[in-house]
Chains A and B, each alone.
Chain A
């Protein structure tokens, strides 16, 4: 098998055409080759969720995905959450204002997971938020402020009443 392969991938709206080692993980590709270090590695075997990125609209573990598997895909990382006008995404703002992060290492994965949740379920219950986040470990907050932030973001992201 070839040791390297060419991939075309869109990350946060920007296209990339790169030759990568076939054993390179998507996480290392994003971090080391694209220099987007907002995606964090916590366990490198798919348990902690810190490396979660959005691939074609679904949350995936970037540590368990090979870069070559992302050929042709649309990827969104935490760096891609900023809105067109340069302001923080409502989820990011809600995390900040609810004190939903301490060390901040799990935050990128939490945000990407919550992004998918709120797209699929714009009015989640607290229990639904907890279930959606149950694959993302946080060692600092006890989750309470994170759950509150996601609920708060859901409110902020409601279409304005007409």
Chain B
């Protein structure tokens, strides 16, 4: 395969090989830790050993005296110098949490940074950490949100009564009436454990003083360079134009690198003060306690259905253990609001209510991670629907058919006030069932049961809100409301088109996608299009990469900008070729008449437009650089239906996945191979989430899972071959794109959870706590006693 294979075809829809991957495959990627500047110092952080304690004193003298140590910084040193992180006020917030970059007076989770050490080299900085003497006065810790909200619970922040960082009640439709008149009400309590994004590359930064023309330059392993720039400037009291932020190659993001954290800001402060570059790279132990966690919900949910199994109402109570601070920028609202608010997913829910809270605990703060809230919400509702099907003696697939929002009912506004349009929920389900051979799978399941095997089948449908514009909140209640991003298209004097955007890729091949879109819009060969990204000094404003938004925004902005650039190219081409512009087209980087009798290579035109401008009427030569913003206004829904088949070993509690069939609707596909990589990767993360991944704390708030030997993520042996199919339908956004980064993880958690529950139900068992570790599976089968 090569770029040239697609000349004269539409690039969009083709598996164009991503040039941007070549340095990575050749060992020439430039990740954060690969950056080294002359005179660079190294930073290490002293971290709290206690979950909750008053800091009586911090003795830094011996650390400061170690040869090679340049500076020791404490929380008190920063008071009055920089602005701490205050939880963003919003209409659902509980109390305010104030997070000092380095702890002052009190520590609130194990791993919270207390001091920073700057040294000539990293090893010396780490040696110095051994020389601090911290006098802690331990305080009672909060480790369970349902206890933490009680009046007698210890307070983590004096300004947060009942430890509420966020609390919301919502109701729409007559929920009481729905439950009163229901044929059947089913209620379940679910528990979903705490997770880690586990980017293979941990966080890190290099901060430099007066590098190039900027006062402060920060290289940071991050998804949102412009957002970092804005808040760096604000918190350090610097003019924003004197700050440059660059995201180099980034080894995984998944949301964990979409928040603003104290450590990188401390490094920026240190570089400014020392007038020397400083570097900090998080080690894995730090990453497990200092980078945001995710999920960690207690979900009580009940559904009311009529005699045919049609949903009449949905009611839920959600507690999220959001950790010690409201994660900066996104707030503590992400998991609580999305878990409860997005629970209806692709199903018609005429009435719903929820009560949801984010309760502060003495644990690492919870922040965004792939598909925030929805994997837990979707799995809960899907498990509940399977139970409804069992009670009504209906096939679970038939129950879903009766409740999915059908295409003919669209546009459809659900009880959570979200509009569903242009989404293939039913076609996704039909295709997955046909490809999986659902009837045969059920027959095989019965045969397996006869031979003593415990086989289960899970079938789930999901919806993912993607590409949110200014009219749809990214999460109800959060104040950071991104909705528009820009792209600059610049035709260089060589005829090469440069696309500049602040939309970093952590492997999503965003630039390849934008090159494909630009190629189609402009008739410029893919090999003549290059990307420039991730650097606030060279890219126009953009919020960055998260929430399955980047293909939608980047491509939309490319289409907008290309419209104007194409107009300018044709106008100048008309001048040179002496043909009206509307008789010209652009093919393979050549402006030509439809009959190809007159032709002008773009290269030639671009060079003339800059170097022979005196020969061109100025009104025809406004320059070939166009910046356009794109705002899709509303979001769209991506969708999918997944089928998982598992065997459960009743002796060991082990679960193996025999088959996994997925069908997705991600809108117009730009690069099918990239899309498949996103979907399969998301399914693999979902399988890890539902089977093995869990961050465990003891009841004093000590983390028990701080290495990769304790926090287990799937290897190539645990992930089956994924059978992937497509039932795409264009969205209303420019180009019809929807986004596909997150959706599949939602389906995977539910599909495998339902398959396990289905298997256990054959022996009267059940499972309501996840991940479904062997121990929990055996408890579900009654082989081990139930969890208390």
The chain A residues found within 8 Å of chain B, CB to CB, are: 21, 23, 31, 36-45, 47-48, 50, 77-79, 81-82, 88, 92, 95-97, 99, 101-108, 111, 126, 129-131, 133-147
Contact = CB atoms under 8 A, between A and B. Distances in A.
Interface of B: 1, 15, 17-18, 21-22, 24-31, 33-34, 123, 197-201, 249-254, 283-284, 506-509, 673-674, 676-677, 680-685, 707-709, 713, 715-717, 719, 721-722
A40 B31 contact: yes
Contacts of B251: 40, 42, 103-105
Contact of A102 (B506, B719, B721): B506
Given A42-B200, A104-B24, A143-B684, A99 B29 contact: no
B33 A142 contact: no
Given A82-B26, A104-B507, A139-B200, 9 more contacts: A31-B34, A99-B21, A102-B508, A102-B681, A103-B24, A105-B251, A130-B717, A139-B681, A144-B721
A107 B25 contact: yes
A96 B1 CA distance: 10
Given A47-B708, A141-B680, A144-B680, A105 B27 contact: no
Contacts of B284: 42-45
A39 B674 CA distance: 25
B28 to A, nearest CB: 7
A101 B717 contact: no
Contact of A105 (B31, B123, B508, B709): B31
A104 B509 CA distance: 11
B17 A43 contact: no
Nearest to A24: B123
A79 B26 CA distance: 7
Contact of A96 (B25, B250, B721): B25
B25 A92 contact: yes
B683 A142 contact: yes
Contacts of B283: 44
Most B CB contacts (10 A, CB to CB) among A82, A102, A137, A146 go to A102
A148 B273 CA distance: 51
Contacts of A136: 715-716
A150 B690 CA distance: 28
A81 B27 CA distance: 9
Contacts of A106: 200
B717 A134 contact: yes
A111 B25 CA distance: 9
B67 to A, nearest CB: 13
B719 A142 contact: yes
A111 B28 CA distance: 14
A64 to B, nearest CB: 13
B719 A104 contact: no
Contacts of A146: 716
Nearest to B1: A97
Contact of B685 (A37, A95, A108, A139): A139
A139 B252 contact: yes
A62 to B, nearest CB: 13
A41 to B, nearest CB: 7
Given A44-B284, A139-B200, A134 B25 contact: no
Contacts of B21: 96, 99, 101, 104
A139 B709 contact: no
Contacts of A134: 715-717
A43 B27 contact: no
A107 B655 CA distance: 29
A88 B25 contact: yes
Contacts of A97: 1, 17
Contact of A92 (B26, B31, B254): B26
Contacts of A37: 30-31, 33-34
Contacts of B198: 139
A106 B30 CA distance: 14
Contacts of A105: 29, 31, 199-201, 251-252
Given A43-B708, A137-B713, A142-B684, A102 B31 contact: no
B717 A131 contact: yes
A101 B24 contact: yes
Nearest to B721: A144
Contact of A103 (B18, B507, B717): B507
Nearest to A42: B200
Contacts of B722: 142, 144
A137 B715 CA distance: 6
Contacts of B680: 141-142, 144-145
